[in-house]
């Protein structure tokens, strides 16, 4: 039984690291736009990935205007797919 518990913890930790790598792939200017909308949507912060993905439909439209206005075109095109990858990682 202890082995299964340890295995579950290791799998969870590996999944968290994988999701963290996906968060890091979001361009910095995109994170700057997304972060204020995360707390406005009622999530605890940028590490509350399940909440962020559950409330993505409320966060994305507000953050998108900021991204389009404030990010270089190349980064603008990367933000939405990167966020989709994060949400796929957390299963939302």
Count up the domains in the chain and report the number: 1
Q: Which residues contact 35 (CB under 8 A, 6 or more apart)?
A: 45, 46
Q: Which residue range is the domain that position 37 belongs to?
A: 2-89
Positions at the binding site: 48
Q: Which residues contact 58 (CB under 8 A, 6 or more apart)?
A: 37, 41
Rounded CA-CA distance 19/32 in Å is 18
Positions at the binding site for heme: 48
pTM for the model stands at 0.77
Q: What is the pLDDT along the chain (92 residues), one digit of tens a residue?
A: 443 333 333 333 334 558 989 999 999 999 999 999 999 999 999 999 999 999 999 999 999 999 999 999 999 999 999 999 999 999 86
DSSP state of 48: -
């Amino acid at each position: 039984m202890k082995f299964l518990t340890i295995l579950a913890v290791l799998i969870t930790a590996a999944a968290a690291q994988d999701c963290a790598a996906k968060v890091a792939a979001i361009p910095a200017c995109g994170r700057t736009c997304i972060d204020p909308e995360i707390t406005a949507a009622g999530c605890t912060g940028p590490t509350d990935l399940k909440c962020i993905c559950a409330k993505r439909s409320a966060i994305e439209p507000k953050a998108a205007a900021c991204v389009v206005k404030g990010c270089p075109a190349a980064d603008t095109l990367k933000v939405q797919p990167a966020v989709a990858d994060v949400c796929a990682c957390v299963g939302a």
